[in-house]
Amino acid sequence: MDTQFLRAFYDLASWIRLTPLLNGPYLPFSAWSLRPGALIKLLDDIALGDRKVLVECGSGTSTIVFARYLAQRGYGNVLSLEHDEKWARWVNNQLAQEGLSEVARVVHAPLAEHPAAVKRVEWYEPGTVEDEIGAFTDKHGKIDLLLVDGPPGWEQGRKMARYPAVPALKDHLAPGASVMLDDVNRSEGVEITKRWEDECGLAMELDPHGTRTAFGTYPG
């Protein structure tokens, strides 16, 4: 069967499953948003793995969907790092309007030089990451799900922009934590996952449903 047809079918089936979490204020989706199938995979992992401490590199619709699910379930928290101040403000405002600010929060973390970066490609500002992630894990415990969907890595010279996530946050990851990397359909995505495996022991597998993601478990 045609790969594009299978991908479209899986996305449609995922939209149907997401319906209970989309019955609320309008949420914008773009070509850069996580595919519906990727959201479902993460929500399934949160539910079946009883994930409680979620961190996102890159905020968006996923932040609000996760917050809605955790609020329905009754426990769990999300912290998102976002380089775009205007977008961070919009997501935080949406969370506040829905009464979800105690569940999820977006931190504006400008891009800057980072010691874990490859070829000096900017990542989130080290001091902001250290302070915010440190305070978040001190309060809630170690991260048991990490979604790496930012910062943008498609521009020339920024192809390895998402690499620092695991090296920079590994001391905050719980043994057995789930890690998802979006946009692995680009060649640098494969390189990033290979480096994470070689350097951090994090083996990741490409999702077979065309969601553009790779998923793995941190050994700790």
What is the per-residue pLDDT across 34-83, written as a single tens digit (0 to 9) for each? Answer: 888 899 999 999 999 999 999 999 999 999 999 999 999 999 999 999 99
Give CA 186 to chain center in angstroms.
17
Mean pLDDT (whole number) for 166-181: 97
pLDDT of the residue at 31: 65
Distances (CA, A) of 34 to 9, 24, 137, 183, 197: 16, 19, 25, 9, 23
In whole angstroms, what separates CA 112 from the centre of its chain?
20
List beta partners, residue 105. 79
Q: What is the pLDDT of residues 114-147, one digit of tens each?
A: 999 998 899 999 999 999 999 999 999 999 999 9
